[in-house]
């Protein structure tokens, strides 16, 4: 095995190892952030490794609630068991020691989500979500009359969703 092949194998094993540590479906974005926070892998390599792992049926990729999820398959678990000794100890140690902290930060980062997109030159669609355990628990879509208003809604949601969400629920559940 050449040095390049060894690096490729290590990175694929690393992804499988991280998925095993997560032990449940994870969003594409969360997995990417987690892998990048632990290794020096770039986005393009990560994408290629995921495609290879998908082709080999070591991971499963599917969409749920408009989000791409990835999980380790039984075949992937078996492959990891056979190859885990190839993963350098320093990488395993880095994953094991940084995993919980990094995963918690990444989960928090992706649990509140907001974005806007243009409908016309003056109208914008704004989407605000809260996702817990890969399940969308709140989803709001509204129109904004300007780009500035759309940006402000996104900023407010990202910074204050924990205050805004209960207020909206309270208003919606009031009996008149």
**pTM for this model (two decimals):** 0.60
**pLDDT at site 108:** 61
Q: Are 134 and 121 in contact (CB under 8 A)?
A: no
Question: Tokens for 48?
Answer: 């290629």
Cα–Cα distance for residue pair 134/126, rounded to 1 Å: 21
β-strands 67-72, 112-118: how paired?
unpaired
Question: What secondary structure letter does DSSP report for 58?
Answer: S
40-93 pLDDT, tens digit per residue, is 888 888 999 999 999 999 999 988 766 788 999 999 999 999 988 887 777 777
Provide the residue ranges of all domains of the chain, joining segments of one domain with +.
3-110, 111-173
Q: Are 168 and 140 in contact (CB under 8 A)?
A: yes
CATH number for 3-110: choose from 1.20.140.10, 1.10.357.140, 1.10.10.10, 1.20.120.1200.
Answer: 1.10.10.10
Find all residues with CB under 8 Å of 127, minimum gap 6, and list them. Answer: 113, 114, 115, 116, 139, 140, 141
> Is 104 or 138 the better-scoring residue by pLDDT?
138
**pLDDT at site 52:** 93
């Amino acid at each position: 095995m050449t040095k390049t092949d060894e690096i490729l194998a290590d990175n694929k094993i690393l992804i499988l190892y991280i998925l095993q540590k997560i032990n449940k479906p994870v969003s594409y974005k969360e997995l990417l952030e987690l892998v990048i926070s632990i290794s020096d892998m770039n986005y393009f390599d990560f994408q290629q490794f995921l495609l290879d792992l998908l082709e080999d049926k070591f991971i499963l990729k599917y969409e749920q609630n408009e989000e791409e999820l990835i999980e380790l398959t039984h075949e992937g678990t078996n492959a990891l068991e056979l190859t885990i000794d190839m993963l350098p100890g320093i990488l395993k140690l880095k994953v094991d020691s940084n995993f919980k902290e990094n995963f918690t930060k990444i989960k928090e980062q992706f649990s509140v989500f907001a974005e806007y997109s243009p409908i016309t030159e003056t109208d914008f669609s704004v989407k605000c979500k809260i996702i817990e355990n890969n399940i969308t628990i709140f989803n709001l879509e509204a129109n904004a009359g300007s780009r500035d208003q759309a940006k402000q809604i996104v900023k407010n949601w990202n910074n204050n969703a924990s205050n805004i969400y209960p207020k909206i629920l309270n208003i919606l559940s009031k009996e008149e």
